[in-house]
Every structure is written in C-alpha cells, then in structure tokens.
Amino acid sequence: MKFLRSLFFGDRFRMLRASFWALLFSLAAGALILFLMGKNPVSAYANLLQGAGLLPKLKYAGRQNQLTDFLSFLDAMTPMVFASLSVATALRAGFFNIAVPGQMLAAGFCAHIVMAALGDALPSPLAKILVLVIGIAVGAALSACMGWLKYRFNVNEVVTSIMLNSIVMYLVTFYINTFYVNPITRQSRPISDAARLTLSGVRWNGLKADFALAFPLAILAAFLLRTFLERTTYGFEIRALGLSRGAARYSGISLGQTTLLTMAISGALGGLAGVAYFCGCFASIQPGTMPGMGFDAIAVALLGGGQPLGCVFASFLITIISEGSVYMSSRLSVEPEIASLITSVILIFSACSASFGGRRGGHD
C-alpha cells in the first residue's frame, strides 16, 4: 500500500511518472496521426513490435524467425544505450553533450583507420578489444577538450559541441571521399570481420543471426555508471556540480577537475556508441551524414530521467520504433518517416515532462 502510494504520488517516482505520461501522450498523438492518414493505429503499433522481434510476424524469410529479429533489434539498441548514457552523465553535472554525433563519428572513423592500417596483424579478440579502447580514448579526448575550453576559456559547451560536430563530419567526409572510399557502395571500405563488434550472419541452428557482442557491455556500463554516480565520491561531486555550482565550489569541490572528469566519461561513452554503431551495427561509414542517433540520444536520456537504468529502458522503447518502422511502413504502405515523426513527438513531450510530473514535493 505504501509502495503504491509512493508510486502514484511520492517524490521518488516523479521522474518515472513524468516519463510514463510523456510516452502515453505521444503514443496517443502518434495514433491520431496514423488514424488521420486512414490507417489502423493498433495494427501499426503491433507491426512496430513485430518488426522489432517482440511479437511473431505472419511469415518469415528463410533462416529468419522472431529470434533473429530480436537479435538484430539488440544490435541496433546497443549504440543507443551508450549514447544516451553519455548524454545522461553530462546532464547529471549540468552540461549538455550535444557533441555525441561528432564523438561517435570520430571514434568510429579512427577505429576504422587504425584497423585498416594494422590489417590482419591482430587475432580477432585482441582486435575487438583494441576497437573498444580506441573508441573510449578518442571520445574521451575530444570531450575532455570541450570541458577544458569550457572551464578555462568560458566557451559555451553547446557552441563548441556544434562546431565540433560539423568539423568532424566534414573532415571524415573529406578523408573518406578522397582516400578511403569503396567505389561501388560510395561508403568507406568495410572494417574486417575480425575487428567488427557484431558477429554478422552467423549460421546457428539453421538460422542466420547477428550477435551484438557489445550489448552485454552496454548493460554492464549502465550498472557501473549507476554505482559510480550514486556510491562514489567522484560521482557525488559530479551530482553536486549539477545541483548547484556555487554550493559545489563552496564545499571545496574542484570545478575544473570535476568538469574534465564528467566530460571525459561522457565522451568515452559517446566513443563507445560510435564504435558500436560504425564497427558493429554497420561495417562502414557513410560520408556526408552525421549519425542522427546522437541527437535522439539527448531526448532518450531525458525520457530515461537522466538515470542510467532509465536510459536502458528508454533506448529499448525508442529502438522499437526505429527498428520496427521498416516493417510497419512496408505492411501499411506509409512513409518510414512516420517513425521519426512519432519519435520527435515523444521527445517534445519528454522535454516538457517537468510539467507532467505533478506537484514537486518540498521547497522549490
């Protein structure tokens, strides 16, 4: 009884309630859009679940079934978990990490280049570990630079992020188009299977499945991050910085050091998202585009209430929409853009979720 009361009215679950309402409102709005287009919203949402491997489809192609769909769903979800964790970490310290797309691209690109230079010199497990290390290092370095600029020169981190995204995007595009293009696909040359973080097209029990090796790592990262933020001194300092800068400085927390640490952790997670995306889900980089997932991650982190485990659940939901949309659009013959439309409506509602959470307890 007490638990139920705290679930519906208490302060502890305020964020959870806010996210729940945001989701409910936006699904209703999405249903309305679909209804106005003359489609059946219920079957559309069922199709989303089927496409993501959570419900069985009517029929499957050879060597495919619900399990393989679900495995590729997990594959697509992995980078989203990392990316939203990255945003959430920065958010806890009161920063906005809008540079996740840039960090992803830079990390994925560096991993590609290094792996191509090494060739087949490394055995498979070592190569995969090296890819992860490169991702962490590149992302953390880029992001720490931003933290340093913010702390040392008072450059707004939002502006630096935006500039960095564009600079990285054009540099990578230039390099790939000039030196590293696959002339047939017009993308970068694919990364070797030995280094790729997703085992793609594995024959198994008569099925052909994709195994995302980074997925357990993403879940582990969420739990580690939670422990780090809630149970360690550094985590406490990060949260203190986010709650009140002045109070944090007054109590002797080093602003510069904490800013750098937060940005480095956030960047490392962004870099991991990058390698999970460009060296996992996909084997090559498409020049001239930024991974839109990096922007979606901001909203996913919000939907998750800025909590690591919340991010995992929010990524799960958003990935259902993005993964299931292909199947839905082919079944209902609607534009696949409807999925990103629904996603952005969810983002809008979660952006103003503070208004949904009900009355704030205590003094505010």
Partner 1 sequence: MTELLNMVIIDGLSFALPLFIMAIGGIYSEKSGITNLALEGFQGVGAFAGAFAAVFLAQYTAGPMPCYFSFLFAMIGGGVFALLHALLCIRFRANQVISGVVMNILAVAMTTFLTKRINAAVFGNAGNKFMLGTIARFTVPGLSDIPVLGAIFTNVYPFEGFILVVAAVMSCVLYCTPFGLRLRACGDNPHAADAAGVDVNRVRTVAVVISGCLSGIAGMSFAYSISANFSADIFLGYGYLSIAALIFGNWTILPAFWACLLFGFAHSGGMALILRLGLPSSYNDLVRILPYVLTLVLLIFFSRHNRSPRALGEPYEKGKR
- What residues line the site for partner 1 (CB under 8 A)? 96, 98, 149, 153-156, 158-160, 162-167, 170-171, 173-174, 177-178, 288, 292, 295-296, 298-299, 302, 335, 337-338, 340-341, 343-345, 347-348, 351-352, 354-355
Q: How far is the CB of 165 from partner 1 (least distance, A)?
A: 8
3-state secondary structure of 316: helix
Element (H, E) at 278: none
- Strand (E) or helix (H) holding 212: strand 207-212
Terminal Cα distance for the chain, rounded: 28
Cβ neighbours, 10 Å, residue 101: 27
User: What's the min distance (Å) between Cβ of 274 and partner 1?
Assistant: 19
Least distance (Å) between residue 62 CB and partner 1? 31
- Least gap, CB of 155 to partner 1 (angstroms): 5
Calculate the CA 102 to chain-centre distance: 13
Residue 37 tokens, joined: 């287009």
- Minimum distance from CB of 242 to partner 1 (Å)? 13
Which of residues 269 and 300 has its CB atom nearest to partner 1 in the complex?
300
The residue among 224, 259, 227, 225 whose CA lies nearest residue 240 is: 259
Taking the least distance from each CB to partner 1, the nearer of 8 and 174 is 174
**Residue 269 to residue 229: CA distance in whole angstroms:** 14
Residue 180 or 215: the one with the smaller Cβ distance to partner 1 is 180
Nearer to partner 1, 162 or 207 (CB): 162
Helix ranges (H only) for the chain are: 2-8, 14-36, 41-51, 66-92, 100-118, 124-153, 157-179, 214-231, 233-243, 245-250, 255-276, 293-303, 308-332, 337-351
CA distance 49 to 43: 10
What residues pair up with 202 in beta bridges, in sequence order? 209
Q: Which is nearer to partner 1, 6 or 355 (CB)?
A: 355
Task: For the CB of residue 272, give the shortest distance to partner 1 in the complex, in Å.
Answer: 21
Nearest to partner 1 of 163, 199 (CB atom): 163
Nearer to partner 1, 6 or 156 (CB): 156
**CA 347 and chain centroid, separation:** 14
In the complex, least distance from residue 268 CB atom to partner 1, rounded to whole angstroms: 22
CB of 156 to partner 1, least distance (A): 7
Distance CA 253, CA 245 (A): 9
Q: Of the candidates 147, 175, 183, 341, which has an alpha carbon nearest to the alpha carbon of residue 255? A: 147
The encoded tokens of residue 123 equal: 């055995």
Nearer Cβ to partner 1 (120/335):
335
